[in-house]
Amino acid sequence: MGKLVWTVSLNVLAVGGILYTLYQTRQVVAWMLIALLISLALDPAVQFLERHGFKRGLAIGTIFLGLVGFLAVLFSTVLPVFIHQGHNLIESAPGLVDQLRENPSFAWINSKFHVLDPLAAEWSSYASAAVLPLFKVAQGLFSGVLGIITTIVLTVFMLVAGRQLFAAALAWIHPEQRDRYVMLAGKIRHAVGRYVIGTLLIGCLGGFVAGTTLAVLGVPYFLPLGLTMILLGLVPFIGAILGGALVVGTTFLTSGAKAGLVALAVFVVYQQCENHLLQPVVQRKTIQMNPLLIIIVMLIGTGLAGIFGALLSLPIAAATQVVLQDVLERRQARHAQRAASSDGRGGSSTPAAPAEWSAGKLQHRGV
């Protein structure tokens, strides 16, 4: 009895220590998760170059050099305009709220539900945060640059040495179980990687459509609104709705009712195309999850880590779902085997997996 108490106590202390360590290093854990998602998204491109004669290191270097060049061109041409438009949007936000207050329809809504005063307060807080002291601005900039550099370095190492690390971890697993873990790792990689790629493509396409539409309509803040649409488009369900409401509302206030109706029509048509054409094609065979469960997972992730939690919750849930489905299938197979044995039909044995594993064999099996 005393041994059992000590065992349970030590396990509880170990779990508590792990959770405390994760909480204290939550920023680093977030960087690691983001790097893992990026590496899963880039791995198909790396494998494509490998199939065409590139060595893996050269393929990874080529992909990253291309990304760095693209970002350099993008930032040098678009970033100054984006900063100018974003600054103007923040400065004009109180005036836009005043225009909403003067609109008869919104005035009636505000009189019933009092939504504009909290909105004005939020915009004022954002505007004041945009004019922080120089030291805080420099501190935030340094933290952001450090996070980007750390994430890039982690992504490179995950692409270069991830398979070797997984192969080494398999040595600690019983040979009969290795096939199962290789299969699970392959399913998780495919589900999460395809989800990340699909979500990024759909988000970027939605931001491009929104930004192009606003630019054609003459809305003076098309770049920050397009970027906002991309970021919100990464959040399933509610993200696109919030982004569309922001884009259409800003168009109404800055360019008039006609432009606002055009933006609303474009948004509705694009949403129908996205829901019925893009989502089924791009997200096919990725995350097959109940919509209610998706919302619950997102709410939990948002409550724990804000916007990063909302973005990371679904990939984590997808990986967890793959593991739980495998556990359920194995449990059902055992029940069926026991039922067959009780009926006199006997059972079947699972063949043992090979005892030696390497990164090359893992690559051949899709890990």
Domains: count for the chain: 1
pLDDT per residue over 18-69, tens digit each? Answer: 888 877 887 788 888 888 888 888 888 888 888 888 888 898 889 888 888 8
pLDDT of residue 134: 46
Average pLDDT per run of 10 along the chain, which is 367 residues long? 75 85 81 85 86 88 85 72 72 68 64 59 52 51 73 87 85 85 85 82 88 88 84 78 85 84 91 79 63 77 74 81 86 85 58 48 54
Decide if 235 is inside a domain. no
- Within 13 Å, how many C-alpha atoms sit on residue 296's CB side? 6
DSSP string, 206-232: HHHHHHHHHHHHT-TTHHHHHHHHHHH
**Domain extent for 49:** 26-172
Please count the other Cβ atoms lying within 10 Å of the Cβ belonging to residue 211: 22
Assigned token pair, 202? 């759909």
In a domain, 272, yes or no: no
Task: Identify whether 259 is part of a domain.
Answer: no
Those residues whose C-beta lies under 8 Å from the C-beta of residue 86, and which sit 6 or more positions away, are 221, 223, 224
Give the predicted TM-score (pTM) of the model.
0.67
Asked, for residue 151, whether it belongs to a domain, the answer is yes
**How far is residue 18 from each of residues 13, 22, 28, 248, 335, measured CA to CA in Å?**
9, 6, 14, 46, 35
- Give the C-alpha separation, 115 to 105, whole Å: 13
Asked if the structure places residue 350 within a domain, the reply is no
Question: Is residue 122 in a domain?
Answer: yes
Would you say residue 39 lies in a domain?
yes
**DSSP helix/strand/coil, 21:** helix
Residue 158 lies in a domain: yes
Distance between CA atoms of 167 and 367, rounded to whole angstroms?
A: 10
